[in-house]
């Protein structure tokens, strides 16, 4: 969500925003301890609370597509937990249909393709995850492209959610749990062993276990890395400490992403700038990062070829 949109919708719907989301924005965050993560989650929930009408949701999705297009992206896979909005929008099915319809309209308006990943919440009961997995399966091939698992990985063991991921796998959905951010390499291994992940949200703590890094590379398991969020949540002190280079050099596929720009500030292009300036990535290596993000997506083949051709054209263009 754009910060200006957050402020405007809060004013429209009489939602009081804390200073961290107004004059102190972007907020100073840390997820390194329970208190820090609780503050992050509270701000996240406050931001979500300004979405009160169908028009608000449609605006959010359209503006997201517009902003990502401005950053150079042409394909998005956005994650939503419909249960977080069910009470306000008529249930999880109605919310899912609203998001899918908004995504289709936004794609038509902007030219940016959008796939929707339905995500369960680690802090809720695993039976709720099974319900969401069945919902995701119902809309597989109709805009839903994957099934995820979000929130604090220290509070919900991956194996508890294995039945939900089996439901999603049978529907042919991409399996994209979060792991290896706030918890260590064992969290990444659990995503592989228990959830059979195709991609892992973050996954950077795998760098602490060389054998696990080799496993990710051998299995072509993509890690979705956002250096800005890693620093904002205290996982790394500075961007150069994010093990981006270590994973890349070990042939682990990496898809750079912006995570939550509303709470962290920088968007997609800034992550590529971090790769260049904090980790010394060359143009050719930046192009490899971009290709990995395309190849690990479920973008339709014509879109995929268009995106890859665009990356090649950027690399071949003369400097400046």
Show which residues are catalytic: 181
Integer Cα distance of 153 and 158 in angstroms: 8
CA–centroid distance for 85 within its chain: 18
For residues 75 and 103, the answer to whether their CB atoms sit within 8 Å is: no
Task: Quote the strand ranges of the chain, DSSP E.
Answer: 75-80, 113-121, 144-150, 174-179, 199-202, 222-225, 254-256
Of the candidates 93, 100, 83, 74, the one whose C-alpha atom is nearest the C-alpha of residue 48 is: 83
Q: Tokens 């999880």, residue?
A: 92
Q: Tokens 């192009």, residue?
A: 287
Q: Tokens 């910060």, residue?
A: 3
What is the layout of strands, in order, in the sheet containing 174-179? 75-80, 113-121, 144-150, 174-179, 199-202, 222-225, 254-256
> Which residues neighbour 277 within 8 Å (Cβ) at sequence distance 6 or greater?
none
For residues 160 and 133, the answer to whether their CB atoms sit within 8 Å is: no
Integer Cα distance of 182 and 197 in angstroms: 18
Which H/E stretch holds residue 204? none
Phi-psi region of 152 (alpha: psi -120 to 50; beta: other; left: phi over 0): beta
């Amino acid at each position: 969500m754009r910060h200006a949109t957050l402020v405007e919708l809060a004013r429209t719907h009489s939602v009081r925003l804390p200073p961290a989301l107004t004059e102190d924005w972007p907020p100073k965050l840390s997820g390194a301890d329970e208190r820090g993560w609780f503050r992050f989650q509270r701000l996240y929930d406050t931001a979500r609370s300004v979405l009160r009408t169908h028009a608000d949701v449609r605006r959010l999705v359209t503006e997201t597509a517009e902003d990502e297009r401005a950053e150079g992206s042409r394909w998005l896979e956005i994650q939503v937990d419909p249960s977080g909005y069910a009470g306000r929008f008529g249930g999880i099915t109605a919310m899912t249909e609203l998001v899918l319809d908004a995504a289709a309209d936004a794609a038509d308006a902007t030219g940016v393709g959008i796939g929707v990943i339905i995500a369960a919440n680690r802090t809720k009961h695993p039976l709720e995850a099974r319900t969401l997995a069945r919902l995701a399966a119902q809309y597989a091939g109709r805009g839903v492209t994957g099934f995820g698992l979000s929130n604090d990985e220290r509070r919900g063991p991956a194996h508890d959610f294995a039945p939900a991921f089996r439901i999603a796998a049978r529907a042919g959905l991409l399996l994209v749990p979060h792991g290896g951010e706030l918890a260590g390499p064992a969290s990444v291994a659990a995503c592989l062993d228990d959830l059979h992940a195709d991609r892992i949200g973050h996954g950077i703590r795998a760098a602490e276990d060389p054998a696990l890094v080799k496993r990710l590379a051998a299995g072509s398991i993509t890690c979705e890395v956002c250096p800005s969020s890693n620093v904002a949540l205290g996982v790394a002190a500075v961007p150069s400490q994010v093990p981006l280079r270590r994973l890349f050099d070990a042939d682990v596929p990496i898809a750079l992403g912006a995570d939550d720009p509303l709470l962290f500030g920088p968007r997609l292009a800034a992550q590529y700038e971090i790769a260049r300036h904090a980790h010394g990535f060359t143009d050719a290596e930046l192009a490899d990062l971009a290709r990995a993000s395309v190849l690990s997506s479920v973008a339709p083949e014509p879109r995929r070829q268009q995106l890859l051709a665009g990356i090649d054209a950027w690399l071949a263009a003369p400097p400046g």
